[in-house]
Structure 1
Amino acid sequence: MLLACTGGSDRAPASQTDDSARAPQAARATGPAPADTDDFGAPLPTNAQFASRVVSLNPAATEAIYAIGAQARLVGRSRWDKYPVEVEQVPALGDGIRPAVEAILAAKPTLVILYATAENRSAAEALTRAGIRTMALRVDRIAQFHSQLRILGVALGAEAQAQAVSDSVQRTLDRVRALTASVRERPSVVWPVWNTPPMVIGGGSYMDELLEIAGARNVFHDQPQPSPTVSMEEVIARAPQFVVVSHKQVTELGANDSWSSLPAVKTKRFVLHDPAVTGRPSVVLGMAAVQLARRLHPTLADSLR
């Protein structure tokens, strides 16, 4: 199950790819104009012509649809869509990966939003053959979150609302970055996303960006993959001062023969995070940066309320 698609399992490997350079801070909220095609190369809607009945099998997109106030158009979601809680009132149509096309068609959608992974290409093609407009979107980096909001704003007739949400999230990220810029020491961290074999957050993930904004140094930032598989020997050699973990992982890593050999695990130097917040490349990105910064730099806690 994909971390970006499920909205934050604390065990599942992150599955993002980095196809964009880090944008200058001031450019992230507005960024370049939206692309003409989605992540599968299909033309994007240029207006709200197809927005009357929307099936979203992409949890980050579903959450964004609620944030921009377009949820009345939703007639279906995946079983992984959990945020906000009101989404439970929308019929669940199965998985977001390799979805059941028949169940989607039964909802009579005019637009289907898919998570852009190779495993969903056949569904997109089948829906297109059936005459259903599709959009395949993927948020791997913070800049792509802003781009997705703009795309959804156009497709659902809520451009002003989408820009307002984008600006609000970016203001929080910028505020956290400004506060942590004054920190003298940026602690080195490792962020495990899978225990055996060891998989960690690499430079290709928005989580790596969150760490940088929150004032930390990811010891695997140089790895271009979002969640590379590494050896325990390499983790130990990079000597992270802290391990970014969920409450569940504290117990798991301590009981794991490989991870328990890491000095930071032995001495319980953990930075606790909530996967329900940090594992969602969505409208809670600002909240995730605040949470991480407060845990990494307790002296800034009062300023990060």
Structure 2
Amino acid sequence: MRAILLPVFGSVLVACSGDRAASSASPAGASVAAPSVTDDFGAPLPTDAQFAERVVSLNPAATEAIFAIGAEARLVGRSRWDKYPAQVERIPALGDGIRPAVEAILAARPTLVILYATAENRAAADALTRAGIRTIALRVDRIAQFHAQLRALGVALGATARAAAVSDSVQRTLNRVRTLTARVTDRPTVVWPVWNTPPMVIGGGSYMDELLEIAGARNVFHELAQPSPSVSMEEVMARNPAYVIVSATQATELGRNDSWRALAAVREQRFITHDPVVTGRPSVVLGMAAVQLARALHPALADSLRDR
């Protein structure tokens, strides 16, 4: 049974593959890696906005970023999975974001198509390229990739200044949360299940693991490199996390699940509740997600973590 339905596809239910990682973004004051020159399929990224006249985005995180940088007027199509921001409903939906219908995309007469970088979309990227359409394939498994995505979209859509401003704003919030939680001496151990049976949990390859660290927690599966590895209940019980990160509905589901009830944190209802509408989006709400998690994990910091 699935535990939560994440609002956008991303790192959570996709194990790490051989796709190239995006370049790193660093907190303020640290050195920053040079921007990537290729997308996550290895294709050259646009160096200017010459392909930006008519854009189809079948990548929900990218679509939300396009709105955030003020380039939504260029959109002529989206996937049916794009839900944020609410204004996205005005953009024609062209079907699925994975294994998309190439004919429907071509009918929108795009000059640029933004895809989610998964192996299942390589065929679509190749078909669009053969049709003379420029493509960008991106994925966000880590916070650094979110910043890299913003940079790439800013260049491709002629909105570099706005993209930089959004990136800086998100990073400032993340830095503020990290600074506040650095004072905490008790960093609780947690497990974050994203699938109940068989268990799948957040691993060290996910931006959600990064959010936990920023928010002042220790993920008991941090050392696993995949974003969302499959684990056994025996492994979960052996690590004996103090808390379980859950959505409101998931708390009820785990409480009725005999396997999960073998875990003391579940039996004793030691849950940290999150809102998957926020935490499940590797997008411009990353700062908000860190704030929510930190306030839930460390109530004493709630006043200092009020939204700004």
The answer to whether TM tops 0.5 is yes
Answer yes or no: is the 8 Å Cα contact 1:16–1:205 preserved in 2: no
Match of 1:136, SS state, is strand
Q: Per the alignment, do residues 16 and 176 of structure 1 end up closer, same or farther by CA in structure 2, a change over 3 Å counting?
A: farther
The aligned counterpart of 2:232 is 231
- Which of 25, 28, 51 matches 2:27? 25
Amino acid at match of 2:175: D
Q: What is the rounded CA distance, in whole Å, between the counterparts of 2:56 and 2:6 in structure 1?
A: 15
* 1:197 correspondence with 2:198: yes
Amino acid at match of 1:88: E
Q: Per the alignment, do residues 104 and 8 of structure 1 end up closer, same or farther by CA in structure 2, a change over 3 Å counting?
A: closer
* 1:78-99 Cα distance to aligned partner (Å, 9 max, x none): 0000000000000000000000
* 1:115 correspondence with 2:116: yes
Q: Per the alignment, do residues 13 and 57 of structure 1 end up closer, same or farther by CA in structure 2, a change over 3 Å counting?
A: same
Amino acid at match of 1:302: D
Q: How big is the shift at 1:8? A: 6.7
Q: How big is the shift at 1:153? A: 0.3
The TM-score normalised by the length of structure 2 is 0.93
Match of 2:56, SS state, is strand
The aligned counterpart of 1:14 is 13
The aligned counterpart of 2:46 is 45
Answer yes or no: is the 8 Å Cα contact 1:96–1:114 preserved in 2: yes
Pairs aligned (count): 301
Q: How big is the shift at 1:33? A: 2.8
Alignment RMSD, CA only?
Answer: 2.1
Q: What is the rounded CA distance, in whole Å, between the counterparts of 1:269 and 1:285 in structure 2?
A: 24
Q: How big is the shift at 1:260? A: 1.4
Q: Per the alignment, do residues 202 and 103 of structure 1 end up closer, same or farther by CA in structure 2, a change over 3 Å counting?
A: same
* 1:33-62 Cα distance to aligned partner (Å, 9 max, x none): 321111111111100000010000000000
Q: What is the rounded CA distance, in whole Å, between the counterparts of 2:154 and 2:54 in structure 1?
A: 15
Unaligned runs of 5+ in 1: none
The answer to which of 160-169 and 34-43 deviates more is 34-43
* 1:210 correspondence with 2:179: no
The aligned counterpart of 2:148 is 147
Amino acid at match of 1:86: Q
Match of 1:52, SS state, is coil
The TM-score normalised by the length of structure 1 is 0.94
Q: How big is the shift at 1:20? A: 7.2
Match of 2:194, SS state, is strand
Q: Per the alignment, do residues 140 and 175 of structure 1 end up closer, same or farther by CA in structure 2, a change over 3 Å counting?
A: same
Q: Per the alignment, do residues 22 and 129 of structure 1 end up closer, same or farther by CA in structure 2, a change over 3 Å counting?
A: closer
Answer yes or no: is the 8 Å Cα contact 1:242–1:270 preserved in 2: yes
Q: What is the rounded CA distance, in whole Å, between the counterparts of 1:96 and 1:278 in structure 2?
A: 20
Q: What is the rounded CA distance, in whole Å, between the counterparts of 1:293 and 1:301 in structure 2?
A: 8
Q: What is the rounded CA distance, in whole Å, between the counterparts of 1:243 and 1:111 in structure 2?
A: 42
Answer yes or no: is the 8 Å Cα contact 2:237–2:263 preserved in 1: yes
Q: What is the rounded CA distance, in whole Å, between the counterparts of 2:12 and 2:25 in structure 1?
A: 25
Q: What is the rounded CA distance, in whole Å, between the counterparts of 2:41 and 2:24 in structure 1?
A: 22
* 1:173 correspondence with 2:192: no
The aligned counterpart of 1:103 is 104
Identity of aligned residues (%): 75
Moved over 4 A (4+): 3-6, 18-24
Q: What is the rounded CA distance, in whole Å, between the counterparts of 2:23 and 2:187 in structure 1?
A: 22
Q: Per the alignment, do residues 15 and 4 of structure 1 end up closer, same or farther by CA in structure 2, a change over 3 Å counting?
A: farther
Answer yes or no: is the 8 Å Cα contact 1:64–1:283 preserved in 2: yes
Match of 2:227, SS state, is coil
Answer yes or no: is the 8 Å Cα contact 1:243–1:270 preserved in 2: yes
Amino acid at match of 1:208: D
Amino acid at match of 2:28: A
